[in-house]
Amino acid sequence: MNPQPSDIRLLAIVGPTAVGKTDLALRIGRQVAAEAVSADSRQIYRLMDIGTAKATMAEREVLPHHLVDIVDPDDTLTLAQYLELAKAAIAEIHARGKLPILVGGTGLYVRALLEGWTVPEAPPDEAFRQRMYALAEAEGAKALSQRLAEVDLEAAASIDARNVRRVIRALEVHHLTGQPISKLQRKRPPGYDVWTIGLTCSRERLYARIDARVERMLAAGLEEEVRQLLDRGYDPTLPSMSGLGYRQMAAYLTGETTQAEAVQQIKRDTRRFVRQQYNWFRLSAGWITWYDIAEVNPERIAAKAVTFARTGERAQKAQDGALFAEPGAEPT
């Protein structure tokens, strides 16, 4: 018999990049039988390991990871496909008597899964997408958002105009189905017994962690990883190559910038990306129990997660030292 979603206990670990989500998941995995389900839109790609900060093979022996290395860099994975794979992985992990841990900073993946979004069945139309990207390049992102507002005002209001890819997807769905994406997307919460832990810290500390991680990636061979991707014929304009670290390093390797400039841009763009992540994971969100990693020992957080895995008991914010935050308290 297949388990019902309501029978499945699910732990989710969210937060900005470089804050320590994978490290916490590994701590938990050393104490309780568990497997991770990645919620990272970059770790899906094969051959892209260093710049996406994937868990090492040794770490995956401690905590097996799902939805990592599942498509080639020139392939695509739709949100609908991700949700189908994630739900299947969670059910399989539960069936093995283990705790599924959803880990990642891609807010679209996390929210769509936990909130039960239904995603329109509209396969990519590459010709249409290229026309829209050309329009954005010629007239600007706002012009594209205005075009969306003409056919789907609700979607245009909810999607940041600077997120050109999401605006184009909304336009694409309308183009293919004749219906606004806002009407096709409905929420049917899967009913998991879920507890979501959020990790955060001060802007200064987080930026220092980002800079340190970029330096570790460079020392681990990020430049060579990108060079090999280019040598294999993967175009720098591919969506996979637009990820942090890859776009900037490819620009250096193709002579568009210097190495020093590329490194600085990786750090700067990662900081900007963090601010976008907090739009998905707000410190004021009641569905997330936030912990400041500078204030609460990771072992203590892991112990609370292990208790949840074994009993379903969630930590109480007031008693547990979890972060209380006012709206708008996210790093800027």
Q: How far apart are CA 314 and CA 153, in angstroms?
A: 39
Question: By the 8 A CB rule, do 34 and 63 touch?
Answer: yes
Model's pTM, two decimal places? 0.85
Please give the pLDDT value at position 21: 98
Model confidence at 4, pLDDT cuts 50, 70, 90, reads low
Integer Rg of the chain from CA: 20
For 311, the token pair is 């009993």
Find the mean pLDDT for residues 174-191.
Answer: 88
Is it the case that residue 319 has pLDDT exceeding 80? no
Please give the pLDDT value at position 326: 45
Percent of the chain with pLDDT over 90: 84
Please give the pLDDT value at position 5: 62
What is the average pLDDT value for the chain, to the nearest integer? Answer: 93
Residue 102 CB-half CA count within 13 A:
34
Please give the pLDDT value at position 328: 39
For 25, residues 6+ apart whose C-beta sits below 8 A from its C-beta are: 13, 34, 36, 63, 101, 103
Please give the pLDDT value at position 327: 39
For residue 326, the tally of other CB atoms under 10 A from its CB is 7
Please give the pLDDT value at position 112: 95
More confident of the two residues 28 and 122: 28
Q: List pLDDT tens digits, range 108-121.
A: 999 999 999 988 77
The least confident of 184-198, 200-214, 279-293 is 184-198
Give the type of residue at 242: S
4, with CB counted inside 10 A (0-12, 13-18, 19+), is exposed
Is it the case that residue 323 has pLDDT exceeding 90? no
More confident of the two residues 225 and 78: 225
Q: How far apart are CA 163 and CA 171, in angstroms?
A: 13
Cα angle 104, 226, 160; round to 5: 45
Percent of the chain as helix, strand, coil, to the nearest 5 = 50, 10, 35
Find the mean pLDDT for residues 197-224.
Answer: 98
List C-alpha distances in Å: 297 to 191, 291, 300, 322. 30, 9, 5, 11
Q: How far apart are CA 299 and CA 286, in angstroms?
A: 23
Is it the case that residue 124 has pLDDT exceeding 90? no
